Amino acid sequence: MKFIFDCFKGIAIGSGAILPGISSGVFCVIFGIYEKLLDSVLNFTKDVKNNLKFLVPILIGTVLGFFIFGKFLNYCLVKFPIQTKSIFIGFILGSIPILIKETNKKEKFKFSNLIFFFFSLAIGIASIFFEHIFSFSIAMENYNILYLVLCRIPYVLWNYYSRC
């Protein structure tokens, strides 16, 4: 039964790999397996049997989730773009309290994190409103360098503030 449950976790993680704005790491944190997953991968040779027991169902689920949701996501983004993007925004906003709770377990609240959050939120909202102006295609054939730079700013700032 644990094998099947871990496969379902893997399916969610695999779908997170292809969903725009959602990270597989967020799903790992939500499921409470992030640290165990890192330990299993980094210390794989120390306890191969137990690490395989933990990793195999997650890997199977991840591959299944990637292929199952890949076609489905493409269909939804073509047929229902506004509704699909709204669901993703809801997923992202809904996962914020869980991520804050996990972050506060290890370190105290920093005001700079709040500034970063609101700055990133503003960039995210602006990118939705100005998406038609930047004309960015998924295939990267016609991309606007300004759009790519604006999408990268929150990530760079997060790395900077998390090290301070």
Question: For residue range 28-61, what is the model confidence (pLDDT) as tens digits?
Answer: 877 888 888 888 888 888 888 888 999 999 999 9
Do residue 128 and residue 146 come from a single domain?
Answer: yes
Do residue 164 and residue 97 come from a single domain?
Answer: no
Provide CB contacts within 8 A for 27, sequence distance 6+: 9, 12, 13, 16
Per-residue pLDDT at 159 exceeds 60: no
pLDDT at 139: 47
Do residue 65 and residue 124 come from a single domain?
Answer: no
How many structural domains comprise the chain?
2
Do residue 1 and residue 70 come from a single domain?
Answer: yes
Do residue 70 and residue 148 come from a single domain?
Answer: no
pLDDT digit string, tens, across residues 83-133: 887 877 777 777 777 777 776 777 776 777 778 778 877 877 777 777 666
Domain that holds residue 121: 110-164
Do residue 64 and residue 47 come from a single domain?
Answer: yes
Do residue 37 and residue 49 come from a single domain?
Answer: yes
- Which string of b and e fits 127-138 if b means at least 16 CB within 10 Å? eeeeeeeeebee
Do residue 24 and residue 100 come from a single domain?
Answer: yes
pLDDT digit string, tens, across residues 53-89: 999 999 999 888 888 887 888 788 788 888 887 877 7
**pTM summary value:** 0.55
